[in-house]
C-alpha cells in the first residue's frame, strides 16, 4: 500500500511526522514545486519524500490536507479516482447552503467519483496530530466515517499502524456529522482529544 499527503501546511506536516515516526514511506505534494517542500520533508524524516502532484497521486491512498476550497483542483488532477482511497482531513467553514446542505465530506466526495472516500484525522489540531499518539497508557483516538463502510477498514488499519485508536462513526451524514464543521458550528466531537486505554 502506498501513501501520499496532498497539502503540506500544518496538518500535512503533522501527518508526515506520524508516518516518519513509524518509518512508513509517504510522498508529500502541494501547489508548490517539490523542491520547495524537500528541505522540510527531509527534516521530518528520510521516509518523507516530496514529489510533483501528479506523481504523488499515483499512490493507493491519498490524504487530502489542503484548504477545503482547493479540493476540486486536486480532484481534477486525475482523470479517474477508481480504486483509490481518499482520506479527507479537511474542515469547511462554509455555511451548509453553499454545500447543497450536505456535510462537507459528502459534498467533496462528489469531486472524487469512484474513490473510496473516508473522513478522518480532521478533529485533532495539528499540534496533537504531530506528536506521538501513545500517551497516558493509551492511544489517541481518531474518528473515521464513510458512506462506503468497507472503505473504512484500510484507513482504520493505517490509523492503528500510525499508533492511533480508530473509532468508526458510520456514514458521513450520521455519526460522521459529529466531527463536521458546518459554517461556524463545530460538530460535538471536533477538537475532542480522547484516549483509548489498552485492553
pLDDT band, very low/low/confident/very high, at 199 (cuts 50, 70, 90): low
Mean pLDDT across the stretch 187-193? 84
What is the structure's pLDDT at 128?
Answer: 93
pTM higher than 0.85, yes or no?
Answer: yes
pLDDT band, very low/low/confident/very high, at 183 (cuts 50, 70, 90): low
Sole residue written with cell 490524504: 63
Q: DSSP states of 10-74 as a string?
A: HHHHHHHHHHHHTT--EEEE-SS-HHHHHHHHHHH-TTEEE--HHHHTTSSEEEE-S-GGGHHHH
Mean pLDDT across the stretch 122-133? 93
What is the structure's pLDDT at 174?
Answer: 87
pLDDT band, very low/low/confident/very high, at 96 (cuts 50, 70, 90): confident
Q: What is the pLDDT of residues 37-66, one digit of tens each?
A: 999 999 999 999 999 999 999 999 999 999
Measure Cα distances from 54 to 29, 77, 126 in Å.
9, 7, 25
pLDDT at 185 over 80: no
CA distance 180 to 56: 27
Share the mean pLDDT of the chain: 93
What is the structure's pLDDT at 30?
Answer: 96
**DSSP β-bridge partners for residue 195:** 140
Amino acid at each position: 500500500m502506498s501513501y501520499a499527503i496532498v497539502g503540506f501546511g500544518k496538518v500535512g506536516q503533522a501527518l508526515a511526522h506520524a508516518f516518519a515516526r513509524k518509518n512508513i514511506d509517504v510522498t508529500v505534494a502541494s501547489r508548490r514545486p517539490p523542491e520547495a517542500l524537500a528541505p522540510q520533508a527531509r527534516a521530518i524524516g528520510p521516509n518523507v519524500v516530496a514529489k510533483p502532484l501528479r506523481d504523488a497521486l499515483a499512490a493507493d491512498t491519498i490524504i487530502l490536507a489542503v484548504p477545503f476550497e482547493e479540493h476540486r483542483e486536486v480532484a481534477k488532477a486525475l482523470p479517474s479516482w477508481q480504486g483509490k482511497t481518499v482520506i479527507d482531513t479537511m474542515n469547511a467553514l462554509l455555511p451548509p447552503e453553499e454545500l447543497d446542505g450536505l456535510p462537507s465530506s459528502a459534498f467533496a466526495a462528489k469531486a472524487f467519483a469512484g474513490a473510496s472516500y473516508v473522513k478522518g484525522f480532521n478533529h485533532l489540531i495539528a499540534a496533537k496530530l504531530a506528536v506521538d499518539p501513545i500517551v497516558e497508557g493509551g492511544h489517541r483516538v481518531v474518528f473515521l466515517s464513510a458512506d462506503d463502510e468497507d472503505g473504512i477498514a484500510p484507513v482504520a488499519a493505517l490509523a492503528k499502524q500510525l499508533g492511533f485508536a480508530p473509532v468508526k462513526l458510520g456514514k458521513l451524514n450520521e455519526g460522521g456529522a459529529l466531527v463536521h464543521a458546518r459554517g461556524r458550528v463545530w460538530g460535538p466531537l471536533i477538537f475532542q482529544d480522547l484516549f483509548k486505554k489498552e485492553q
